[in-house]
Amino acid sequence: MRYSERPKKDTKRRGGFLPALLGAIIGGVVVWLLMNATLGNESNSSVLEQTTGDSNLTTERVSLDVNTDVTEIVSKVADTVVGITNMQTVRDFWSSTETTQERGTGSGVIYKKTGDKAYIVTNHHVVENAQELEITFDDGTKVDGKLIGSDVWTDLAVVEIDAEHVKTAIEFGDSDTLKRGETVIAIGNPLGLGFAGSVTMGIVSGKDRSIPIDLDQNGTVDWQADVLQTDAAINPGNSGGALINVAGQLIGINSMKITQETVEGIGLAIPINIAIPIIQDLEMTGTVNRPTMGVSLLDLRDVPYQQQQEVLKLPKDVTTGVIVTEVFRNTPAEAAGVQRYDVIVEMDGEKIEDMVNLRKHLYNKKEVGDQMTMKVYREGKLIEIEMELKDGNTF
């Protein structure tokens, strides 16, 4: 073998390259022609031509009609959510003149239309101390509102307006059937009417929450508000607005938001099942007639297990109920013999697990003057108590 001989070139491999390259070029041209032919045949596209130098640059602008379940729900109820402006008379100290000025804004929900009148539910703090109320519809129309009644304890109020501009009223849902994780939508006017009709969406984060309320800001808890917890954004101005389910039904009245630096995504709303009897009383009489026992209460689950055993002397299988922490004088509870540290576990045969259950039974199923049978644990023994309920603003 002579090492000076060069190896022969692979003529077969060289000969196959040019046809492959030519095929790729032809294929690319065909694809380009097909794409341009397809785009040219689009009848629903609007063509925007721009000329740069000697060449024409053609782009496509396609119109899309985005329609989802959420947009349909919002469109269905948007006209029922209104803005409420609280107008108050302000006196100038130096000139002694008086002017009516805006003192705050919130939201409201039209829940009823009858004859030439319509009714709006909102929060008490939205309309508090108002000399005048201005109602703003979703389309910007403004009318005067008349306060029918307001309840500081539940932070609810009812406002009456002329029905001339009212297109529809919202439908009540059932807040008792809500589930954690269920989708909800909040509609209102966060930060004032400049953000009217804002929509946020989230889930039900929790049910049957009891939030302590200090009504007179004296450092003492006056009330336990029953609320729904949601992560849908609720900000100042959303108060009184609608919390709806995916059927477009009203299941809560947005009421407040926990505003702490370490807390995010906690919005609160008054469950509609708790609000309905209050709304009805306010609409009919302007006040709320509440049956009362005359006690202050505490959920048993908030007491350490050791104290449940040593102080309350409860059986080990009793894990839910409501503790009487104080009995007020000259009340049905005192007359019936209720004592401090009695643990309420049953009312009229209905199991009572916490203050939410107790309030629902007391306010939704009983009336002033009714008799009520209550079972309590006292010193570890189960006893039965009969009492006649009277009107009042405590439990």
Catalytically annotated residues: 125, 155, 239
In this structure, the number of other CB atoms found within 10 A of the CB of residue 69 comes to 11
Handedness of CA 228, 231, 235, 237 (dihedral sign): negative
CA 191 to CA 200: how far, in whole Å? 14
Instruction: Write the DSSP string, 301-360.
Output: GGS-HHHHHHTS---TT----EEEEEE-TTSHHHHHT--TT-EEEEETTEE--SHHHHHH
Partnered with residue 378 across adjacent β-strands are: 381
Q: Return the H-helix or E-strand segment holding 73.
A: helix 69-77
C-alpha–C-alpha distance, residues 151 and 255, integer Å? 13
- Least Cα distance to 356 among 312, 316, 320, 386 occurs for 320
User: Which is it for the CA torsion 111, 117, 121, 126, positive or negative?
Assistant: positive
Residue 305 tokens, joined: 């297990």
Give the bridge partners for 47, in sequence order: 60
Query: Token match 């039904």: residue?
Result: 249
Cα distance between residue 303 and residue 394, in whole Å: 22
Residue 169 neighbours by CB under 8 Å, 6+ apart: 80, 110, 111, 112, 113, 118
Exposure string over 85-112, b if 16+ CB within 10 A, otherwise e = bbbeeeeeeeeeeeeeeeebbbbbbbbb
- Cα separation of 146 and 148, whole Å? 6
